[in-house]
Structure 1
Amino acid sequence: MHKRDKPLCLSQSSVSSLWLKMSSQRTLLSLLGSLCLFVGYISVVSSTAGDVAVLLKVKSGGLGDPDGRLSDWVGTSQNAPCNWTGVTCDPKNGAVASIDLAGLGIAGRFPADFCRITTLRDLNLGNNNLNGSLSSLAVSFCSYLHSLNLSSNLFVGELPEFEPEFANLTTLDLGYNSFSGGIPASFGRFPALKALSLHGNLLDGIIPEFLTNLSELTRLELGYNPFTPSPLPRTIGNLKKLDYLWVSKANLTGNIPDSIGNLTGLQTLDLSINNFKGKIPVTIGGLRSVERILLYQNQLSGELPNSLSNLTSLSEFDVSQNNLTGKLLENIAGLPLDVLNLNDNSFEGEIPEILASNPNLYLLKLYNNRFSGKLPVGLGRHSDLVEIDVSGNEFEGPLPPNLCYGNKLERLITFNNKFSGTIPESYGECNTLNYIRMQSNELSGTVPVRFWSFSGLTLFQIGDNTLQGSIPTSISNAQGLTDVLISGNNFSGGLPPEICELKELKTLDAGRNRFSGELPECLTELTKLTELYLQENMFAGRIPTSVRYWKDLQTLDLSKNDLTGEIPAEFGSLPALAYLELEGNSLSGEIPAELTKMKLISFNLSNNELEGEVPEGFNRKNLIQSLMGNPGLCSPDLKPLSPCPKPKHLHFYVIGILAVSALVLVGAVIWLYKTKTLKVLFGKKQSSLSITTFQRVRFNEDDLLGSLKEENLIGSGGSGQVYRVKLKSGQTVAVKRLWGGSRKGNMEAEFRSEVETLGRIRHANVVKLLLSCIGEDLRVLMYEYMENGSLGDVLHGEKGRVLLNWPKRLSIAVGAARGLAYLHHDCVPPIVHRDVKSNNILLDEEFRPRVADFGLAKTLQSDVKDESNGVMSRVAGSCGYIAPEYAYTLKVNEKSDVYGFGVLLLELITGKRPNDDSFGEHKDIVKWVTEVALSSQEEGRGVTSSPYVDLEQLIDPRMDRSTANYEEIENVLNIALLCTSAFPINRPSMRRVVELLKNRNLARQE
């Protein structure tokens, strides 16, 4: 046995000695362990106490807590500060690791002392009311942080510089503030940064290339900043780990860089609302992980690159409002898209059938292109379509029968195409529909009964087809309907009384059909009705008389029917009625004198069986055509109407009357001679006056010309002087006498333009031209008199105090927009006003607006021989309202008026002039509002607006705040910013503006 293998034998005493030694060692180790734990405990207690002191110092040192959300920050509380609101501690050592006070309403300056807690890693103060500047010194204390979120506050000034010590920062969110200036160079030196958010500020430098050095970046948000127009850095492809890129509305120009295709991990690409031009790069096909591509509202051209077909993960593709051409390729249409928006381009050709097999498609917008052929027959069969808009194309053939197969369809828009055949019966089962526009096609047959009566339906427009059948009684189920527009079809039968149950109805247009029977008396119970068109049908019987509830009715057209009975005198009590068309019926009796109380823009009683003397208020030459075809009517003055029979027993007074008349005549001649009016009327230069009447007005030339004197002068402008004239008939009118002399050439053109434009149009929101008067050196125009002058006078003059509430301002905006939309879209050829401004919006006694002063107006076809294609020979318009492109291209179209209207909206919101001195040098209202609008979050007041718009900085201080609907105001602000976009293609049409003003949800989505 080896020595080492010898067994170990210990005596009892040795064992006892060893046990005692080991026991002593264990005791010593235990004591050492307890000492370490004690020391650690003392350290943690000391650290926690220090954190409490720092937090309490910040709270008491100027951090505002108006809602008391930090009331539990009390030093005596148990487990302080780890159980305090917004404070999170490390569970291992109890040290403060995170402070999250987002959305608690705290205020004051940036609380830099939070960063004296050296264990702090995450600081989130977003969505509060912190203000002031953010200095480099203040943020230097926070170099330990991994995450810093100061978004949606009120910070101003330049962005701070960050020291190199911020080596661990992974998230920096400074979005939705009012930071201005450029992006500091230190922002390109964050080695660990993964998310950088600077969106929604006032940064006006360029997007620097050094940002593409942030190799760890996965999220970059720079959108909604007024950067200096410049390209997206060509090295953007260096950010290979990027999965989210948002640079919308950032004044980006040039081409989309080819290197964009290197972002293979990108999931969202949003470059919308910029000024990119050229083609979509072929390299975009390299974005193999992309799910959303948003390129809408740019100036991109060319065809869609075939490489898009590689993007098999793409779910949303929006390239609307560009200048793209070509066809929708089959391999692109075959992508598994949820959303496909190609609207407002110049695409053509047929839609590939494969689009219908997509199981994901729920939103399809193809409107305003040149697509043709048939829509895929299976469209909607394999997916749950929610909205389809293919309007404004050249589609033909039958409508796809399965659009509502998934019973999710809400908006069906197919107008202005050549669709034919019947409306599929399956559409009658689509009870999710709330918006239907199918007018101006070639549809025929009967309409499915249930298609009229969906409970959520608000707009039903199927006019200008060849549809037939009758209106079903079940239409009463559509309680939310505001517009029923079915004119220009072959519908027949009577109007069912159930239509009177549509209490929200504002417009009923059933004209140019074959309806018959009597008008339901209950129509007068539709208290919200503003327009009722039933012309060119076969209605018989009497006109309903109990019309007192039609307080909002503006238009009533019952012309060319078989109506009988008398004209209700109650029409004279309707305050808003401006258009009354009753011609071509069999109405009898006298014309009610009460009708003369109405402020009618247009009325027509011709071709009826009316009799008796024409009431004094209608006894005017310009109304003769509106009275013709009534053999029983008579008038002492209006020819060719028969003179009214003279009362008997009056011949004894004839001689006396003639004698008195002679004396009056002699006196008048003497007075005219002395006032030199006789010379004006009958002198050599005014020997012949050419007078053209457009509306009813009773006057004589003496009254008119004799009233053009200093005491009646109410305004003077670039085109002439305006007088307030009260005619002997009692009617007050406005008379504009155009300048002569050296200005005669230009004034002649403006006079001709005004007469030709206003003489042929009629609209409730366009000023009414009553007559024109031409002499050798005299050019006079007579208009309806607007009691409250111009909108410019009311906003900026002494009348400003009378227009303080928001509802009036919004009503003026909607009315003016409707007037311009009428000029642009309903006149043939379209009319461009060219001088849209607040001084050319006139207001009547109830502040209803009229677009006025058409001296610069042009039609868009062959209006001026030497100014083809809308190019003018000189810049015309008013400073502050002129669209940017007009000043250097001299090219005018409807978008020039849209820009001016946008400026007008900004005036209504702010109460400021377009070139107010308070804006500073070289800055107009558009630039000023843009800067303020993106400056900071809304400060509350119950507002649910976007978090970066400080409306209180914008709203006219004179406006009565009790009437201010902040959500509506922000809606109008958004519309104004759309209208004043620097690029015409980005501006909506005036018809679209009217829709946006009436629907705030639409405006917020634009």
Structure 2
Amino acid sequence: MAPLHLLLLLFFFFFHLHLPSSLSLTEDGLRLLEAKRLLSDPAAPSPTGSLPTPPPATGPASPAPPQVLPNLASLFLSLNSFSCALPSSSLLPCSSLSHLDLSQNEFTGPLPSSLSSLPSLLYLDLSANNFSGPVPRPSLASLPSNTSPSSASSTSPTTPSPLPPPGLPLQPHPPPHPLARRLQPRRPPPSLPRLPLRPTQPRPLHQQPLRPHPASLAALASAVQIELYTNRLSGPIPAGFSNLSALRNFDAAMNSLSGPLPDDFFLAPSLQSVHLYENDLSGPVPPTLGLARCLADLRLFSNRLSGPLPADLGRNSPLSFVDLSENSISGEIPAGICDGGALEQLLLLDNQLSGPIPASLARCRTLTRVRLQNNGLSGELAANSLSGGIAPEISAAANLSQLLISDNRFSGPIPETVGDLPNLYEFSAANNHLDGPLPNSLANLSNLGQLDLHNNSLSGELLTGIQNWNKLTQLNLAANELTGAIPPELGKLPVPAQLQNLKLNQLNLSNNRLTGTLPPLYASGAYANSFLGNPGLCGGASGPCPGRRGGVSNRRDIIWILRAIFVAAAAIFVLGLVWFSVKYRSYKKSKIRIDKSKWMLTSFHKLGFSEYEIMDCLDEDNVIGSGASGKVYKAVLSNGEAVAVKKLWGAPARKEYNNDNDNDGFEAEVATLGKIRHKNIVKLWCCCTHKECKLLVYEYMPNGSLGDLLHSSKGGLLDWPTRYKIALDAAEGLSYLHHDCVPAIVHRDVKSNNILLDGEFGAKVADFGVAKAVGMGPKSMSVIAGSCGYIAPEYAYTLRVNEKSDIYSFGVVILELVTGRRPVDPEFGEKDLVKWVCSTLEEKGIDHVFDKKLDVATFKEEMRRVLSIGLLCASSLPINRPSMRRVVKMLLDVNPDNNSNNNNNNIFNNCKHERDGKLSPYYQEDASV
């Protein structure tokens, strides 16, 4: 507590202390000493949250301390790392304090009751802390009428509080100090005053006039942005939003708001963004939603809204993002939802929508994402770009009469279940990629009137037993690969009344592989064009049929001739490939031999081989791996020793730089790496360079990489003691790079595939082709900054890596060892391994995280501790990640023979973070050690 008191005094004295000039230094010193005594008062709040009753502020007989720093007007301590309880008595002496900002810290404990004893307080910001306990409502109510409290980001275990009632006397406040305004989080407090946003210079705090308090949020006539998300607000949303003429963004998501949306909610003339998702809102969507002329972002998902959407939704507003998922919205999708010409994402899944998908969506060129599943939509799907197969579950639509899916990209066979649609009259799937035979169940469709499957890849023979198609008027199977004879049943179908002497209104079987004789009915000229492109057919317009034996014999001869030609061509092609491969390898070897004298070798250890032996082993048969930085060969030397040779990829993307500088940077990196001597670092024997080609010769690791072994069928070889030893070895190697190398070395691509295993499964960190010495120029930086699933979150916006980036990647490796899962897996959906572990811990428990191949019953406690270390290393905030030296110590403490205390008693603590990245109030460990 003493460091905090001292820092408070320093801020008091250097930033916002306004003392009269008439006071002497001696008197100032006495007052500062008195303030220090008060801040060190043992009557500070207890850990249970109880607060002593503050003594009266005035009176001769009062036990209160004398006035200390009475002229202190403003105090800014935001964006620090204070982590203690806020002492109530420390605020009592500051009777003139008007502006108090303690946001963006780690204060804990209850809110001090002495806030009500600050008669001049105008602005209060306690957001982004870890305060707990109930909100002292009497204290806030007793604040001056021009006070603006803000604690939107502090966590509290109390029950949800409603939106601001009309009785809370709040008034406008000017912006804080420029530095504090720039660092202050963009979250207004729950009880907002009327904020007149003017471009003029605000007056000093003590000159602001007092105004009547607003009746509700609707009185914020000049508010531009209201953010109340991630609190515990409850109750209905107040009416009167149409009066907010300047409001653009309203965000009250992730609360417990209930009741219907007010009818005038969307009538704010400047409203652009509304976020009310993950609440308990109910009732219909207001019709005024279609009148919001500036609305672009609408997110109301995960509520209980019902009723239809306004028919004019999107016609009067430039909607770009609409998410109304997980509600009970019914009716049809508004036809003009994309009329604004800016719609990019439309998410309406998990509702009760019905009717067709609007045709206007097909013309919406800005649309990039549409999700409509789990609704009751119907209508046509033709003339789109839908892909995949026809689902067998289509048989559940027993009343389906028209199945029109032409002009799409459907593939695969037609499911047999299509024949289970008794009312199907029209089946059109032309111009797709369907293949396989026609399902026999189609013959059961007695109500089938139109069948159009032309321009697909259907094969097999035409259906037999189709005498039930007595309503068939159109049959188009052209441009497929159908074979066999035309079934006689096709010529016995009843005559439609409108066709008189014709059996079918439309018949097209052209461009297939049909054979045999045409039925007599189709030998007339009326069907002359129905069988074109079938050279095996005869009779009618196709010409007379030859003798049966001669025709069969000729066809067999042709087939054998074609087969012989195909086999000969294939043999010539294969022989040509073999010849070319042999010649190419011979050419490469000869070129290497010619250039041997031009290779430059830089050794870092005493070598028992020369560069010539290395060149002779650079053969494709010796390739043992290929990664983002290059290809790896296994070279067995004349003395029987094996080494690993990494041939780095060329660098065409870096030709914009000077080649000499590139070579200097590469040589500087390699020279640094060649000096590394550690038992857990793969030894770099030497480096060979020639023009653009660069070779790094490492010691050979017989058991390959950890990633290949862990995620293969041989993963069972790695029992828990072996995995624990691998984690400790790799941690010691990285700790050496970070703390014992001068300058420190950042690996930049820590992953399980870059941790190699020797013959006894000892782990060594490898692949320094992508490392960068800290402090070197940017031209020596490698082009790779990590692998998918291992990249730290902050890299997305900083594009820089440091030791904390390596620590995050190592945390992912630890999670791989404990769970046996890859860092990115289709089973995780949109999550990575870190998020999957956290969600599984919260939803199912720790037993569902461990690798099933391990003896969990014996080593559960060790595995739990190592898992906690991995989650700590993979924290989303870099400041929370321990150093590698600290990680090594924590892993050593996991050893059951070591009885040292462990701070990771609750494994869930490392997963409990606020959505905006703040630490959990339960997290107390200093991760920066």
Calculate the TM-score normalised by the size of structure 2.
Answer: 0.38
RCO greater where, 1 or 2, for CA within 8 Å and sep 6 or more? Answer: 1
Calculate the TM-score normalised by the size of structure 1.
Answer: 0.36
